[in-house]
Amino acid sequence: MPKGRSRSSDERLRTPEAALIARAAADLGLAMNDKCDELARRLLAQTRNDEMPGSGSGQKDTEQSHDELHLELTKLRIRHVANMDLGGAVAAARLVGATWEQVGGACGASKQAAYERWHKVVKEFELARLKAEQRPVDALDQYDPDGLVMGEALYNMAPLEAVLQRLGRVNRDMAQGDAAEGTRPRLD
């Protein structure tokens, strides 16, 4: 820009594209989560060493879930003191078995206050996790949306004859649907 000229008020400062900003924000979120995990593990190891002087590795808990619970509650406390978003940390703590009283204690609140503040967020996380664990949809789901054919075979251990009869009905229904649409079923 030549000396003495000012920028027009219409001219905008150039910033990176939205997709690049979103990727950077995601990277930052992951880095913060990784750092929080690292700090929590370090604090727990230090606490265990302080409780058991003379022990090189600290006291070993007998149950892995107990360790996970301590880790998630410690991460929740770190995030709380750092004024970070707590929704995911609360959901993670609840997933490993934290009570609302423990969640509230980690955040300096009562169990009732913790429940009122985060129960909807936790429920959303749980629903999202369950949805992510669902089996992928395939073409057969169009004609057997409940997965009864494979469900009978895998979960109820139905006799093979019953499963084959159900498959035959599904194939017949598929062929009738194709015939009604004026297409021929593919046999390959």
Residue 157: band (very low, low, confident or very high) from pLDDT cuts 50, 70, 90? low
Residue 56 pLDDT? 46
Residue 132 pLDDT? 76
Token match 């997965």: residue? Answer: 147
Separation between Cα atoms, residue 72 and residue 83, nearest integer Å? 16
Neighbours of 91 (CB within 10 A): 21
Q: Does position 55 have pLDDT exceeding 50, yes or no?
A: no
Average pLDDT (37-48) is: 93
Give the global pTM: 0.58
Least confident residue range of 4-18, 87-101, 110-124: 4-18
Q: Does position 181 have pLDDT exceeding 50, yes or no?
A: yes
Residue 100: band (very low, low, confident or very high) from pLDDT cuts 50, 70, 90? very high
* DSSP annotation of 139: G
Separation between Cα atoms, residue 39 and residue 81, nearest integer Å? 13
Q: 43 vs 11, which has greater pLDDT?
A: 43
Q: Is 84 exposed, middle or buried (0-12, 13-18, 19+ CB in 10 A)?
A: middle
Q: Does position 141 have pLDDT exceeding 70, yes or no?
A: no
In the chain, % of residues over pLDDT 70: 64
* DSSP annotation of 134: S
Average pLDDT (32-43) is: 94
Q: Does position 94 have pLDDT exceeding 50, yes or no?
A: yes
What's the mean pLDDT when you consider all of the chain?
78
Q: How many Å is the maximal CA-CA distance in the chain?
A: 89
Q: Does position 61 have pLDDT exceeding 50, yes or no?
A: no
